Amino acid sequence: MSHIFGKVTNAVVSGTNENSFSLANLNLGFSLVKLEAPAEFHPLGSALSLQRRQTAEVGSHHQTARLLGALFSQIAPNAPKLLQAFGQRVSEIINSPDANPTGTPEDGPFKDSVGADATSIWAAATSGSASLAVLLLACLLARKFDDPKLSVALWVEIVAIRQKEVLATAQSTGFAMNETVVAAHQRILREDLATFDASVRAWLITADQVMVKKLKQLTLILDNLTTLPVSVGKDTYAKIINAWDGAIKGFEALLEGRPQNATDSSVLLALSSWHLYPDLIVLSSETKKVIFQDPLFPPSVAMTVGFIAQRYRSSISRVSMVSGSFSPQILW
């Protein structure tokens, strides 16, 4: 693909067409590329129904994952240990008893729809590390907002803003043509973002059922905490990107063996969104350590959470169990 990018660099930046190459053809080329998924995700891929696996590898989910990964690749946090741990956890969950029933002839035309919907995860896993990082953001947004209309509206907004950022940089600096610039020129449909969000939400329901004991334990802890500050930023887009960046970097540090302080609400949202449970040191009326015994984290590290100044009380971190589903409402 690199020689194609080189031929159309100037055309893309200037908005002209050259040598009959089109952005649509470039989009088709790189958005359908299937990469080898990290080994940690292989059990999840093998557990998917054939229909879901095909959709994830060559269908609309894959195109969405590739486009989002390309669009955000230059600002996506690098987190190899977190992606590895996330892959291990989702594979563990999907292979848990009763988590992923197999469709039978009795299910009729719905046979291929039976079982855990991890289509979005496998689509991201076969699209590269940036796509997986974007999937983690999708989990945060789906967890935060009960109403999918809100999360999808935010996706539309942040995609549009990111595309403008990329194109503005390309036009001002003239940097070489790459996948990020191609993705910035594409029309990423609301319907495709909604489908991606729906798959993430379906996965959260499955994962919540499997991890229900740890989620209930986490609920009890967070219900007794005062407010953590929201992520900083000049606008909603900046707050979301900063929350995503901070949560990923915080978990990466924990997995590297470095204790962390929960400095804003995004890291607490990530606990339930990604189903990863480091030990916690809770600073409330008395200091106590909560042991989750999550084998994915080094036993010597913990995340400290606790009281924050009174001025942050307007941004309540609230965790509730709604219709059997874990649903924290934590402001950015």
The percentage of the chain sitting over the pLDDT mark of 70, rounded to a whole number, equals 74
- Which range, 48-52, 132-136, 264-268, 318-322, has the best average confidence (pLDDT)? 132-136
Longest CA span, the chain: 70
Rounded to whole angstroms, how far apart are CA atoms 141 and 212? 20
Q: What is the pLDDT of residue 115?
A: 65
Q: What is the pLDDT of residue 25?
A: 56
pLDDT tens per residue, range 43-79: 999 999 889 999 999 999 999 999 999 999 999 999 9
The percentage of the chain sitting over the pLDDT mark of 90, rounded to a whole number, equals 60
pLDDT tens per residue, range 3-42: 444 444 444 444 444 433 455 555 556 667 889 999 999 9
Rounded (5°) CA angle 198-33-47: 50
Q: Which residue has the higher pLDDT, 331 or 91?
A: 91
pLDDT tens per residue, range 259-316: 999 877 888 899 999 999 999 998 877 888 999 999 999 999 999 987 543 333 333 2
Q: What are phi and psi of 116, to 5 degrees?
A: -65, 135
The residues facing 303 across adjacent strands are 260, 280
Residue 106 has pLDDT above 90, yes or no: no
Residue 326 has pLDDT above 50, yes or no: no
Q: Which residue has the higher pLDDT, 156 or 182?
A: 156
**Helices and strands (H, E) in the chain, number of each type:** 14, 6
Count CB atoms within 10 A of the CB of residue 59.
17
Give buried/exposed letters for 236-257 (b at 16+ CB in 10 A, else e). Answer: ebebbbbbbbbbbbbbbbbbee
Q: What is the pLDDT of residue 263?
A: 78
Q: What is the pLDDT of residue 283?
A: 84
Q: What is the pLDDT of residue 287?
A: 87
Q: What is the pLDDT of residue 329?
A: 41
Q: How far is CA 206 from CA 39, 97, 137, in A?
A: 22, 12, 18
- Write out the two tokens for 92: 């563990």
